[in-house]
Structure 1
């Protein structure tokens, strides 16, 4: 049996074809690998971007929550302050009213005491005048009696003189 050996041209063509095929297979494998890498990188980039966006959203949410809490706290503080102020004013008002009442009572008492004193004075004055009047009357009576006695005595003397 005879071994068929191709001509140099054919052999060159076969070799060239094999090399060409091998080169393209390698090139395709390389392209595929690079494509996968690129896709992986893109996916990674997308994932990173998504994570970043998610983080930003979370931060925004936290910030808004914090702001809301701060607002709530300030509102609570303001209301508390208002309530305390109201309470303080009410207390002051009550104290004032109480003081007014006390003052009124005190004045009333003073007035009553003054009135009592005045009445007492009047009563004493009346009593004193009455006493004075009685004393005067008594003195008058005594004088009258004395005069009467003197008259009688004088008459007695006259009588004795004549007789």
Structure 2
């Protein structure tokens, strides 16, 4: 009986001592999380930079296309005006 009581008391002391020790500091987990967050940030920055570059190229292309369309429209209008004056001059006037 004395041995049983002694074992129970020793068990209580052991659990009390184990409960009071601080948990090991998880140093590897925050470092890994920090590295992952840094990687995600860099990936987001790279993606934003790429998107910005694509938008810039698209804007330049749109401006170039607009200039080309304007130039083409002007030439077409000029050509149409030229055709109407030639036709008007070529047709004889009606005599009364």
TM-score (norm 2): 0.68
User: How far apart, in 2, do the equivalents of 1:136 and 1:130 lie?
Assistant: 10
Q: Secondary structure at the match of 1:79?
A: helix
Any stretches of 5+ residues in structure 1 without a counterpart?
Answer: 1-58, 151-163
Q: Secondary structure at the match of 1:84?
A: helix
Work out which of the residue numbers 125, 140, 156 in structure 1 matches 2:77.
Answer: 125
Deviation at 1:111, TM superposition (A): 1.4
Work out which of the residue numbers 38, 59, 75 in structure 2 matches 1:86.
Answer: 38
User: How far apart, in 2, do the equivalents of 1:129 and 1:95 lie?
Assistant: 50
Q: What residue in structure 1 maps to residue 6 of structure 2?
A: none
1:81-160 matches, cutoff 5 A: 81-139=33-91, 142-143=92-93
Deviation at 1:105, TM superposition (A): 1.2
TM-score (norm 1): 0.42
Greater displacement, 83-92 / 107-116: 107-116
Any stretches of 5+ residues in structure 2 without a counterpart?
Answer: 1-16
Deviation at 1:124, TM superposition (A): 0.4
Deviation at 1:116, TM superposition (A): 1.2
Count of residue pairs the alignment pairs up: 77
User: How far apart, in 2, do the equivalents of 1:82 and 1:138 lie?
Assistant: 83
Instruction: Decide which structure has the larger Cα Rg and report it.
Output: 1
User: How far apart, in 2, do the equivalents of 1:81 and 1:75 lie?
Assistant: 10
User: How far apart, in 1, do the equivalents of 2:47 and 2:54 lie?
Assistant: 10
Runs of 4 or more off by more than 2 Å in structure 1? none
User: How far apart, in 2, do the equivalents of 1:86 and 1:77 lie?
Assistant: 14
